[in-house]
Amino acid sequence: MKTIDFTKLARPNIRSLKPYEAREIPCKVKLDANESPYSLPADKIFQAKNIINRLNRYPDPEAKKLKKTISKNLKVNTDSILLGNGSDELIYYLITAFGGPVLYPVPTFSMYGIISQACGEKGIEIPLDKGFDLDTDKMLAAVRKYNPKLIFLSSPNNPTGNCFSADRMLKIIEASKGIVVVDEAYQPFSSEKGFLPLLNDYKNLAILRTLSKIGFAALRVGFLIGDPGLIKEVNKVRLPFNLNALSQNIALEAFRRKKLMDSQIKNITSERERLFEELDKITGTSPYPSEANFILFKAKNANAVYQRLIKEGVLIRNLGSAIKDALRVTIGTPEENNFFIKALRKSAGGKK
Ligand code: PMP
């Protein structure tokens, strides 16, 4: 049989591409992926009438019911909404539709860079300032120099947890001739009101949201909100039936139980404050304030702490080279958080 070097066969931009790392490490307490520790009881959801009543037909290609529900919830018109198989897919569609250069601050969500490279587009990375805020001068200089088609601002930012200053974001939106996508995956956990209210003021502003962080990561439902003209262009590259029928229908159930979802979010944000104080008390670790469902913290010998935590049955995120000696922990249930803190005291060096 012929031998084929598939790497050589791949396009040059794919040859050097490193895929997104989503490692499955078995553990007692999983606090690595910014998922919610809560959801709706799956058994009750599946008993709910009409979750799915036919398997042989394609799902609603436009997900009309879900769009209508989101439209009511976010108070935006349905023609300003595009649904994706997770917001990841919408990032792919945005870059496919508009191309590059693509500008984003770093460290941030790695998919902006991975998808830019996958699409053969130039990714421009501008370091955040020391306080993890946008470096306005450098960002504006890059806007002038490269005239990016797309700018991604994750606010609250993953993995740093802070929101960027609104006035700095506005300066970038005003200076940009291209589209500025404010990725609000973690907005439900933030004390800031986010950029949705500004959509009518800036035509080049688009917003990304997701159900993944508020209890429904398994569904893969994300939404892009923006000017109907922008949505129309992105919709051209959307794959037919990109949102499966089960996800559409369970997402509807989630919105019907919004009160419960809101109370779960409240639990997470109050646990975040408790976890912050606990982390602050441990010798050798120092947490950064967070507006998201995770906390970034510095730890002496972070690699060793990360490995020891795995041995104790706790999986968190090692940020490796992105931020030196930093680890990221997702907020879990009170019990999970207690388990983590106990294991961390053992792994990092006890109380201060
Ligand atoms: N944006 C940010 C900032 C994220 O952190 C993530 C998930 N890690 C996503 C988007 C992707 O979310 P989804 O599950 O909706 O694809």
pLDDT digits (tens, 9 = 90+) for 59-97: 999 999 999 999 999 999 999 999 999 999 999 999 999
Listing DSSP states for 265-296 in one string gives HHHHHHHHHHHHHHHHHBTTEEEPP-SSSEEE
Closest listed residue to residue 188, CA positions, set 209, 166, 157: 209
Three-state secondary structure call for residue 312: coil
Instruction: Indicate whether residue 183 lines ligand 1 (CB < 6 A).
Output: yes
pLDDT digits (tens, 9 = 90+) for 175-199: 999 999 999 999 999 999 999 999 9
Position 45 scores a pLDDT of 78
Residue ranges per structural domain of the chain: 13-39+259-348, 58-256
Domain 58-256 sits in CATH at 3.40.640.10
Which has more confidence, 22 or 108? 108
Which residue is closest in CA terms to ligand 1's atom 12?
87
Listing DSSP states for 91-129 in one string gives HHHHHHHH---EEEEESS-THHHHHHHHTT--EEEEE--
Homologous superfamily (CATH) of 13-39+259-348 is Aspartate Aminotransferase, domain 1 (3.90.1150.10)
Position 50 scores a pLDDT of 72
Ligand 1 atom having least distance to the Cα of 211: 15
Q: Does residue 41 have a cis peptide bond before it, meaning omega lies within 30 degrees of 0?
A: no
Residue 225 tokens, joined: 């909100």
- pLDDT score of 352 more than 60: no
Position 35 scores a pLDDT of 95
Instruction: Indicate whether residue 87 lines ligand 1 (CB < 6 A).
Output: yes
List the single range of 25-34, 87-96, 202-211 with lowest mean pLDDT.
25-34
Residue 207 tokens, joined: 């917003």
Which residue reads 């995956």 in tokens? 185
Distance CA 283, CA 162 (A): 23
Percent of the chain with pLDDT over 90: 85
Three-state secondary structure call for residue 71: helix
Query: Ligand 1 centre and the CA of 222: distance in Å?
Result: 9
Q: To the nearest whole number, what is the mean pLDDT of the chain?
A: 94
Q: Where are the alpha helices (DSSP H) in the chain?
A: 6-9, 12-15, 42-47, 64-74, 87-98, 111-118, 136-146, 166-175, 228-235, 245-256, 258-281, 302-311, 334-344
For 184, list phi and psi in degrees, rounded to 5.
-105, 45
Position 53 scores a pLDDT of 76
Between helices 166-175 and 136-146, what is the axis angle to 10°? 10
Instruction: Indicate whether residue 34 lines ligand 1 (CB < 6 A).
Output: yes
Distance CA 152, CA 206 (A): 10
When pLDDT is cut at 50, 70 and 90, the band that residue 351 belongs to is low
Position 346 scores a pLDDT of 86
Query: Ligand 1 centre and the CA of 8: distance in Å?
Result: 31
Instruction: Indicate whether residue 159 lines ligand 1 (CB < 6 A).
Output: no
Query: Ligand 1 centre and the CA of 87: distance in Å?
Result: 6
List the single range of 1-10, 15-24, 128-137, 171-180 with lowest mean pLDDT.
15-24
When pLDDT is cut at 50, 70 and 90, the band that residue 350 belongs to is low
Which residue reads 């993944």 in tokens? 212
Which has more confidence, 203 or 52? 203
Position 138 scores a pLDDT of 98
- pLDDT score of 43 more than 80: no
Domains 13-39+259-348 and 58-256 share a fold: no
- pLDDT score of 249 more than 80: yes
Instruction: Indicate whether residue 222 lines ligand 1 (CB < 6 A).
Output: yes
Instruction: Indicate whether residue 185 lines ligand 1 (CB < 6 A).
Output: yes
Query: Ligand 1 centre and the CA of 292: distance in Å?
Result: 12
Position 33 scores a pLDDT of 94
